[in-house]
Amino acid sequence: MREDEIESLIGAAHAAADAAREPILRRFRSLGLEAENKAAAGFDPVTLADQEAEAAMRAALARLRPDDAILGEEEAAKAGTSGLTWVLDPIDGTRAFLCGAPVFGVLVALHDGARPVFGLIDQPFTGERFAGGFGRAEWRRGAESRPLRARRGVALAEATLLSTFPEIGTEREREGFRAVSARARLTRYGLDCYGYALLALGQVDLVIEAGLQPYDVQAPIAVIEAAGGIVTNWRGGPADAGGQVLAAASPEIHAEALALLAPYAA
C-alpha cells in the first residue's frame, strides 16, 4: 500500500474517533441519562450517546472514505467497493458509561479482508488515544505522546490478568478463565476496552474474555499487535470474529495461558 494511502486511512480513523467525542462528552455523567435494554435476557444497554456517536463516526467516514464498507454496533452494515471495512464500536463499555466510570472507549478498526491492520482505542474523558498499525504504535494525550510497548519477561505466576466480567461467558468458559486466574498474581475486572489499552501500554499482561463481537475486539487486536503483543482465540487462531479472546503481552505468557484455556475452547 502506498504511503499516501496509509496516511489517508490513518487520518480517517482519527477523524472518526474525533467525531465521536462531542456527543459522548455531552452526555457523559449527565443527569437523567437513560438506556434502553437490547437484550432479551440480562442487560445490554444502549444510550443516545452510543447512537449519536456512531452516526457522527459514519458521517466522517462517508466524507473521507466513501468507497469503504462499515460494520458498526448500532446501525446496519454498509457495503463498500474498496475491499476495506471500518469496524466501529462507538462506546465499548456502555455499562461503565452509565456508571460515570471513564474506562469505556471509542473503537475504530480497519480490516483489509484478511485481518485488522489499524486500530484506535480512544477514551474521550481522559483524552487518551491508543493507536496501532502500519508499523506504528503510539499513546497520545493532547501534546503528549509515547510509543506503545507490551511488556516482556513476566511469567504467569507474576502476571496481572484483566477481564470485564467475573461471570465471563458460559459456565465452562468461566472454568477456563478460573484456571488461568488461579495461576496469576493479580486479577482485576470491569475495564472493558481500556484493559486492552493498558496491555498495549505495558501495564498488564493478559486480558481474557468470551462472547465478544467483531466490533469489540478488532481495534484492540490492531493496537496490541502493533505494540508487540498477541491476540488469539482460545485455540490460538485468529480472534477478529470475536467469541473467546486471549490477549497477551508476550509469546511466553500467551503460551502459558493458552495451554490452560485450550481444553475449554469452543
Instruction: Break the chain into its structural domains and give their ranges.
Output: 3-147, 156-264
pTM above 0.85, yes or no: yes
* Res. 158: pLDDT tops 90: yes
Looking at residue 202, its pLDDT comes to: 98
| Contact partners, residue 237, CB within 8 Å, separation at least 6 | none
Looking at residue 248, its pLDDT comes to: 98
Average pLDDT score, the chain: 96
Strand partners, 129: 122, 140
pLDDT (tens digit per residue) in 9-28: 999 999 999 999 999 999 99
Q: Which H or E run contains 265?
A: none
Looking at residue 166, its pLDDT comes to: 85
Q: What is the pLDDT averaged over residues 90-100?
A: 96
* Res. 1: pLDDT tops 90: no
Cell of 144: 503528549
Quickly list DSSP for 115-178. SEEEEEEEETTTTEEEEEETTEEEEEETTEEEE-----S--GGG-EEEES-TT-SSHHHHHHHH
pLDDT (tens digit per residue) in 199-246: 999 999 999 999 999 999 999 999 999 999 999 999 999 999 999 999
Looking at residue 135, its pLDDT comes to: 96
Cell of 22: 462531542
Class of domain 156-264 (CATH, top level): alpha beta
Cell of 220: 484492540
How does residue 31 score in pLDDT terms, banded at 50, 70 and 90? confident
Is-contact 94 47, C-beta < 8 A? yes
How does residue 44 score in pLDDT terms, banded at 50, 70 and 90? confident
Lowest mean pLDDT among 29-38, 65-74, 139-148, 156-165: 29-38
Looking at residue 157, its pLDDT comes to: 98
Is-contact 110 118, C-beta < 8 A? yes
Lowest mean pLDDT among 118-127, 164-173, 218-227: 164-173
Classify domain 3-147 by CATH number: 3.30.540.10
Q: What is the pLDDT averaged over residues 35-54?
A: 88
* Res. 39: pLDDT tops 80: no
Q: What is the pLDDT averaged over residues 164-183?
A: 94
* Res. 41: pLDDT tops 80: no
The percent of residues above 70 in pLDDT, for the chain, comes to 100
How does residue 34 score in pLDDT terms, banded at 50, 70 and 90? confident
